[in-house]
Structure 1
Amino acid sequence: MAILVIAEHDNASLKAATLNTVSAAAKLGDIHVLVAGNGAAAAAAAAAKLAGVAKVLLAEAPHYEAQLAENVAALVVANAGGYSHLLAPATSFGKNVAPRVAALLDVAQISDIVAVDSADTFVRPIYAGNALATVKSADPVKVITVRTTAFEAAGEGGAAPVENIAAGADLGLSRLVGRELTKSERPELGAARIIVSGGRGLGSGENYHTLLEPLADKLGAALGASRAAVDAGYVPNDYQVGQTGKIVAPQLYVAVGISGAIQHLAGMKDSKVIVAINKDPEAPIFQVADYGLVGDLFEVVPELTRALDPIRFS
């Protein structure tokens, strides 16, 4: 049977999380991708080019433009026949849509998988990532969210047909009032190759920006933060890395003034290289760091910034 991936997109292009979800689906069978939007032909065309995708289903209607969970979930359920697995990324979008789909189909959701053992057996982290559970499902259709950092992004190389399907009715259960989007010239946190994160050790929001922004500029990095720094008001919520924030796995993660609470480690410990700067030699962050520097961050970070060659990281 075929696998249906629910695409996350902005009507013009696919979100990076969809590419990782397609890679997870490739371990299960033939892949169909559902694009629900309004004026989303470009996103559907991008999905059709992904390696391994056999078909793209495009549903367009004004009430799909904002991809509200109630309408998208109803569309997925209406088209779920013939699919053994329904996959969505474990992002805010996927976590909003997938539980509704599972409830409407009366099956259990399998959340945040990091590996596919077989068609009915999956691995997912529990206890903030300190243990892995192997879950076997006997449900006739598996509704799954995928931890995107655990799978490589699917590349191009496909030429799948795009099939237009009928849109469902507007359920009218919710409406989009507005969006407040953070605009930045830096890379998006969830997809960045390099991340510089700050914690409560920075002492203030002013110190956060004064110390970390020049370092991030030199590295071409995104900026992140621990929950403690967010709760203290140093930076907005969308900077938060951790179990209750964004799960990231960049090539390089620089943790400055972050002690390494278990909730934060759950969100970044899969990073390829972790560099920790902290004055406390007993800080838990050093247990997962590839490189650790014990020192005063107010002296170390400016010195590191001065020493970096920006061309090397461009």
Structure 2
Amino acid sequence: MGWYKEYKLVEDKMGYNLIIYLNNEKAEFSNEIIEDVKENILTLNDEINKFVEDKFSDIKINSVKLMLGAMVIGTIPFAGHVKVHAETNSPNQVQAAPVSFESNRLDTVGTVTASKLNVRSGPSTSYSIMHLLWQGNRVKVIGESGNWYQIRLSDGRTGWVSKSYLKLDVIISSRQEKINKVISLSKSLLGTPYVWGGSSLQDGGFDCSGFTQYVFKNVGVSLNRVSYEQANQGIAVARQNLEPGDLVFYSLAGDGRISHVGIYLGDGKMIHSPKTGDVVKITDITTTFWESRYITARRII
């Protein structure tokens, strides 16, 4: 079948968005380490261009979204109508922009530990080298994506370096600070009564999604009101890759429909507001009951 399994068009303003589901039976897209998968899709730009030109020469494609199962791996913006054949050099030919990746903001400083360190234009070795750093150089670190740090050079340019060769000063990242606040605030609410429809202390307590919405709101993150809508926010996380602060979703009825949400604390535990007559509490989610009702997890921060 090649590099994709199926695709669909979604109507958008003045055109369409194309969603392509990658073939996870191909070795390069079956890796559980998401950073490796993202690096592998960088090789698809030419194939995506040809795919759009061959199949959609008479309509406007605004963007291409690459999916691996239910996970969004990358988004490629397009501009203009695709009307040319592969062998022509028409100025209207669409070129795919580089794949964009999720990144977390940082605000710290790092020291180069390698004798020579390549600074690249993006977070993988597929991107071009734009600068060189030398052992002992100190640089501003402004973000991270996978195994790469985003840095700002002294001339104002930004680039990416491997995490293996940059030692950060011991400063808690803004992301980790938010996660710490989520965990701390959620634990401070232990014992708060379950109240159906409750989403604040003024309501006397919380239901499950009201609890998660309240906690995240207090660290500056907006969540939808109900659990199945919260399950569409952030990025998908495999169960084996859960981290503290991730949202975990369950079908209490066991029918596959999301009806419950909690905040993962680590060590197989979540904190949640369970049901009428109960209170906010910490629960072991490695039991048969919870494992059999698990649906998905999302990383919001």
TM-score (norm 1): 0.26
Q: Which has the larger radius of gyration?
A: 2
Which structure's relative contact order is higher, taking Cα pairs within 8 Å and 6+ residues apart? 1
TM-score (norm 2): 0.27
Q: Which has the higher strand share?
A: 2
Q: Which has the higher helix share?
A: 1
